[in-house]
Amino acid sequence: MSEINIALINLWIEARTRFSNQIEAIAESDLKKKLGKSPNSVGFLIRHIADVELLFAKNVFGANDIKVSAQTVIAKHDSGEWTDLKALKDYVRYAAKALQTIIELQKDTDWSSVVSTKEFGEKTKAEALGRIVSHTAYHAGQMALAIKYGE
C-alpha cells in the first residue's frame, strides 16, 4: 500500500472515531432517542452512516461487489425500526471494512480522478473522501447530542 493510501486510511480511521467510539459505548435504550423535534433517532443515524459509507465504497470508490440497500437514503425519514443494536453494530462493522478495503485498493493516481454522482456532482476521489469523513462526523455529533440530551 502506498504512503498516500496509508495516510488517507489513518485520517479516515481517526476522523471516524467520533462515530466508532460512540458505537462501542451505546446502549440499546439509546437507539430510540431523538433530540428535541429532530426527525431522526440515534438508531436511524447509525444505520444512515453505514448506508452512506457503503454507497461511497460502491459508487465512488468502485467496490462493485458491495451489496447495499441504503434503506435510510431510500426512505428519507426515520421509520422507528432501527432498534436492534447487534444488527446495527454488525452493519457498521461491515460498512467500515468495505470502505477501508476499497480505499486501500486505490492507486495514487486514483485520488485525482473525478467521480460524478447526482448527490454531490463532480468531485475528485480525494474530495469525496473528505465528504464521507465529514458526513460521518456530522451525524456522529448529532448522535452524541441525542444520546446525552435526547428522549
**Average pLDDT along the chain, 151 residues, taken 10 residues at a time:** 93 96 96 94 98 96 92 90 97 97 96 92 96 97 97 93
Q: Could you give the residue ranges of the DSSP H alpha helices within 1-151?
A: 3-25, 42-55, 71-75, 85-105, 125-149
What are 73's three cell numbers? 437514503
- Rounded CA gap, 23 and 19, in Å? 6
Sign of the alpha-carbon torsion through 67, 62, 85, 146 = negative
pLDDT at 52: 96
pTM: 0.95
| Domain ranges across the chain | 3-149
- Rounded CA gap, 139 and 79, in Å? 17
Q: Does 3-149 carry CATH code 3.40.718.10?
A: no
pLDDT at 76: 87
pLDDT at 1: 85
- Rounded CA gap, 68 and 105, in Å? 19
Which residue carries 495514487 as its cell?
108
